[in-house]
Structure formats: structure tokens, C-alpha cells
Chain A
Amino acid sequence: DTGVSQDPRHKITKRGQNVTFRCDPISEHNRLYWYRQTLGQGPEFLTYFQNEAQLEKSRLLSDRFSAERPKGSFSTLEIQRTEQGDSAMYLCASSLGSGSQDSPLHFGNGTRLTVT
């Protein structure tokens, strides 16, 4: 068990460019979450997968954001036409859950995005 890993750790991009982040959850975890955290704030929920199905999306996830988890293992989060307001830490977490029951979350170290 190597924990949740995220790639890249840091990404600097120019406004208008597309970026894609990857998250590899703990292998037996069926639930995967994406969060966004700006400086001085707690993380904000973006979206959640159970296996390959995207079950919930926050209103924060505009049309420029898309997330996939094609085989129920790793997930990608893409931001199209980045804006300066997208600059944040993007955190991935995973857990093992069934129905309404969930196990503690395991977080990755995040991808820090800076849009210039």
C-alpha cells in the first residue's frame, strides 16, 4: 500500500491552456474524491466516484472541469481554458465504502496549480 498518489505535484500554466491531473488511489478503494483548496481555506468538494461511476458533482465544477475514472482505478481531472481563479491545490482522496458506510479518507499530497 503506497497510499494515494497524485501527479504532478506542481503545475504552472498560462491562462487559457488546458491541464490534466492524475490521481492513483489506494488499490482496493472503490471511492475516489476530488477536492480543491485555496490558501487559508478548508478543502471544497468537487466530485466523487464510486468505482467508475461519477455519482456527484459540486456546483463548483463548471463546464470547464471534467473528471473521469475509466476503469474504476486511477482518475483524471481536466481543466480546460484555465483561468487565474483556478489556481489552487487540487486534492484527491480515496476510501473503501459500501452503501451509506464509509471508511476514513486517505488523501494524496495534492497538485498545486498556478495559472499565470
Chain B
Amino acid sequence: KNEVEQSPQNLTAQEGEFITINCSYSVGISALHWLQQHPGGGIVSLFMLSSGKKKHGRLIATINIQEKHSSLHITASHPRDSAVYICAVPYSGGGADGLTFGKGTHLIIQP
């Protein structure tokens, strides 16, 4: 079973700061997911990536397959970015099974 570690667990920053959240996993994977969860439980998929880098607006996700590590960056952070960010990888490495989730990074952006 894949093990996922995220850091930091909690992060408070000022509006405008550049944010980095890290994720490491133990078993080689086909793809890694970054998810965003707002209070109340709704989960939104931000990225699914298997190599390199993806960008969506102010969000950037990178992955290093050899090092089994991914980062999620937020540029020009805004209070509406406050949420829990969760990294998830396939349960046993392959792409056709359930996901194992990190415990999440609780991000607060203060105005």
C-alpha cells in the first residue's frame, strides 16, 4: 500500500505570499492528484499529473517521479485560497484502483 506524507500540516500566510505544499509517496505511481477541500466537505480535483508540471491560473503542480515527490504552488495567494489541500496517489501504485490520501494541508490566507 502506498504511503503519503504531506507537509506542512498547517500553514498561515499573508495575502500575496507564494505558497508551497509538499507531498511524498512510497510506491511508484501512474498519476498523482491534488485536491482542494473547503469547509463543509466539498472536494474539488485541482490537478492530476504523471510527469513534469501543470498550471491552472495561479496554481502550479510539479512532480518528480524518480524522487516520488510533488509540490503544489499558489502564486499571489488570496483569502479565497483558504482550504485544505490534499495529495492523493493510487492505493497500490497502479491507475485503476482507489486512492490513498495524505492528511491534508490546512491553509489559511489572511488579508
A residues touching B (Cβ–Cβ < 8 Å)?
31, 33, 35, 37, 40-48, 50, 55-56, 58, 89, 91, 93, 97, 99-107, 109-110, 112
Given A103-B48, A104-B33, A112-B41, verify A48-B101 contact (CB < 8 Å).
no
Q: With the chains together, A70 CA to B45 CA distance in Å?
A: 27
B96–A47 contact, CB under 8 A?
no
Q: With the chains together, A93 CA to B33 CA distance in Å?
A: 13
Minimum distance in angstroms from B108 CB to a CB of chain A: 15
Q: With the chains together, A47 CA to B41 CA distance in Å?
A: 19
Additional A-B contact list (12), CB under 8 Å, known A42-B101, A107-B35 = A33-B99, A42-B103, A43-B43, A45-B100, A46-B98, A48-B98, A55-B97, A97-B96, A104-B47, A105-B33, A105-B35, A110-B42
Q: Is B95 an interface residue (CB 8 A)?
A: yes
B residues touching A (Cβ–Cβ < 8 Å)?
4, 30-31, 33, 35, 40-45, 47-48, 86, 88, 91, 94-104
Q: Which residues of A contact B97 (CB under 8 A)?
A: 48, 55-56
Chain A residue nearest to B103 (CB atoms) is A42
Given A42-B86, A45-B91, A105-B45, verify A100-B30 contact (CB < 8 Å).
yes
Given A33-B98, A100-B30, A101-B95, verify A41-B103 contact (CB < 8 Å).
yes
Q: Which residues of A contact B42 (CB under 8 A)?
A: 107, 109-110
B41–A89 contact, CB under 8 A?
yes
B98–A45 contact, CB under 8 A?
yes
Q: With the chains together, A56 CA to B88 CA distance in Å?
A: 17
Q: Which residues of B contact A35 (CB under 8 A)?
A: 98-99, 101
Chief secondary structure at chain A's binding surface: strand
Most buried by A among B42, B86, B94, B97: B97
Q: With the chains together, A105 CA to B33 CA distance in Å?
A: 9
Most buried by B among A42, A55, A101, A107: A42
Q: With the chains together, A97 CA to B86 CA distance in Å?
A: 21
Q: Which residues of A contact B31 (CB under 8 A)?
A: 102
Chain B residue nearest to A31 (CB atoms) is B96
